Amino acid sequence: MNIIFLGPPGAGKGTQAQLLTKELGIPQISTGDMLRKAMREGTKTGLEAKRYVESGGLVPDEVVIAIVKERLAEDDCKNGYMLDGFPRTVFQAEELAKFAKIDVAVDLDLPDEVIVERLSGRRVCPNCNATYHVSQLGGSTVCKNCGAELIQRKDDSEETIRNRLKVYTEQTAPLIDYYRRQGILRTVDCQGTVEENFALVKRALEA
Ligand code: AP5
C-alpha cells in the first residue's frame, strides 16, 4: 500500500508513520528528515534547503521532487511506503502522480492551539529520528532507542511554528480537496493520545 500522511506541522505525521512502519514493515519517507540529514551533512541539497527549513518556508518544488523520486526507486519501496511531509503543494502532488500510484491519503487533523503546545515541547533524536514530547521523557534528555542526546529542532520556536502554520494553510491545505476529489482521502481527528490516534489511523486505512 502506498500511503500519504497529510496534516499541519505537529499533527503527528512522523509519530504515526513510525508506528505504522513497525506494524506494516514498509518504509517511512519523510522529506523533512531527508532535508535535515542533508543539512547536517552539508550536501548541495542541504545547503540549498537550509534557509527555507529554518524559517519555516517550503523548499523549492524541484529540489524535493527530485529527492522523493530517487528515494521511491529504491528496493525497499517495492512493497509500499508512507510519504510523510510530501507532497506539500498541488504542483508536487501532480508531479508525484507521474511516477507513483497513491492508494490512500490520510489527513491528520488538529487545531492550531494544540499544535503550538506539541511542537514547542518536541524533542528529536538526531541519530535515529525518534520523536518525543517533553511530557513523555520524565526529565530524561536521551533517546530511548539509541541513547543519543535529544535535540530541539531549530524550526520549533513559537515564531517559526506560526509561519509554518501560515505556509501550511496557504500552500498545503488545498491538497485535502485535491485527494478528496480523487476519492482516496481519509480524515482522522488527532486530538487523542498517540495510541488512540494510531487505532483511528489503522481503521482509516482498512476502510
Ligand atoms: P517536516 O519535518 O515535514 O515538518 P512538518 O510537516 O512541519 O511536520 P512535523 O515534523 O513538525 O510534525 P509531525 O506532523 O510529523 O508531528 P510529530 O509526529 O513530530 O518539514 C520541515 C521543513 O522541511 C518544512 O518546514 C519545509 O521547510 C521542509 N520540507 C519538508 N518537506 C517539504 C516538501 N515536501 N516541500 C517543501 N519543503 C519541505 O509530532 C509533533 C509533537 O507532538 C512531538 O513532540 C510528538 O511527540 C507529539 N505528539 C504526537 N502525537 C501526539 C499525541 N497524540 N498527543 C500528544 N503529543 C503528541
- Express each pLDDT in 62-100 by its tens digit: 999 999 999 999 999 999 999 999 999 999 999 999 999
How confident is the model over 92-147, as pLDDT tens digits? Answer: 999 999 999 999 999 999 998 899 999 999 999 999 989 999 998 999 999 999 99
Instruction: Provide the mean pLDDT of the chain.
Output: 95
Atom number of ligand 1 nearest to Cα 7: 14
Protein residue with its CA nearest to atom 25 in ligand 1: 56
Residue 168 pLDDT grade (very low, low, confident, very high; cuts 50, 70, 90): very high
Closest CA to 129 of 153, 106, 109: 153
If pLDDT is split at 50, 70 and 90, which confidence band does 177 have?
very high
- Domain 2-26+79-110+166-206, what fold? Rossmann fold (3.40.50)
Helix (H) and strand (E) counts in the chain: 10, 7
Averaged pLDDT for residues 23-46: 95
The CA 36 to ligand 1 mean position distance, Å, reads 12
Q: Which residues on adjacent β-strands are paired with residue 6?
A: 107
The reply to whether 122 belongs to the active site is: yes
Q: Ligand 1 site: residues with CB under 6 angstroms?
A: 7, 9-15, 31-32, 35, 52-53, 56-59, 64, 85-88, 92, 118-119, 121-122, 131-133, 155, 164, 192-194, 197
The question of whether 164 is a catalytic residue gets the answer yes
pLDDT score recorded for residue 113: 87
